[in-house]
Amino acid sequence: MSRLHLQLERHFVHRTGWLRAAVLGANDGILSTGSLVVGVAAAATSRQNILITGIAGLVAGAMSMAAGEYVSVSSQADTERADISRERKELRENSAFEHRELANIYIKRGLGKELARQVAQQLMAKDALGAHARDELGISAESAARPVQAALTSLATFSIGASLPLLIVIVSPVGVLVPAVAAASLIFLALLGAIGAGAGGAGILRATARVTLWGALAMALTAAIGAIVGKAL
């Protein structure tokens, strides 16, 4: 492998925390608000009522996403802190056992016994807790839970995503709101899938197809229910 190739090699795992929250928030914003608008419009209500419903869905959804992300990621952070605290205690009380434990991890990954012991010894001499957190617990600076970041990312991206179907409601004639919002929302979802895949270094075609398919299914079901309820009332 050339030196130039090593310099140009790129990885995207450090983006997984905020990227997951961003894609989830924007996808939820487009899909939930778009489906809500399509369902209400299929019931033949006025543009004003559709907008009021959509705005209420935007605010409620954004706050729900932010709160849900904060609570769930905080639980993950609490678990990580508890595990690290236990590991710190174990290192303090039985360092020799922890050294053997770390060496065994490297042996299972393919290192020879002597080399594994040397690697474990050198890593523990530099940062014992960091080595055990990373290689025993699977916790690193890149993957550590960040509740506030996740909550704010979801709040912002949900709001942006939800505002797109509402913009279509404002600019489209009332008679074509359902197909206009549905088509535009699917385009937005496809773009989101492509952007998210590109930012994460994944395959664009599969991500785009996946998010578009589920979006179409959700909006078709919501439109059908809205039409049925509208006729019944």
- pLDDT tens, residue by residue, 177-202: 888 998 999 998 888 888 777 766 66
pLDDT of residue 218: 82
Q: List the end-to-end C-alpha distance of the chain, in Å, as a whole number.
A: 69
pLDDT of residue 154: 86
In the chain, which ranges are E strands? none
**How many beta carbons lie within 10 A of that of residue 216, not counting itself?**
14
Whole-number average pLDDT of the chain: 82
Element (H, E) at 188: helix 177-200
**Closest of 148, 185, 178, 192 to residue 163, by C-alpha:** 185
Q: Would you say 145 and 76 are in contact if contact means Cβ atoms under 8 Å apart?
A: yes
Q: Would you say 99 and 120 are in contact if contact means Cβ atoms under 8 Å apart?
A: yes
Q: Would you say 35 and 193 are in contact if contact means Cβ atoms under 8 Å apart?
A: no
Percent of the chain with pLDDT over 90: 21
State yes or no: pLDDT of 89 exceeds 60. yes
Give pTM, 2 decimals: 0.71
Separation in Å, CA 14 to CA 25, 140, 150, 223:
19, 10, 14, 39
State yes or no: pLDDT of 100 exceeds 70. yes
Which has more confidence, 202 or 61? 61
Domain ranges of the chain: 16-232
How is residue 174 annotated by DSSP?
G
Which has more confidence, 61 or 17? 61
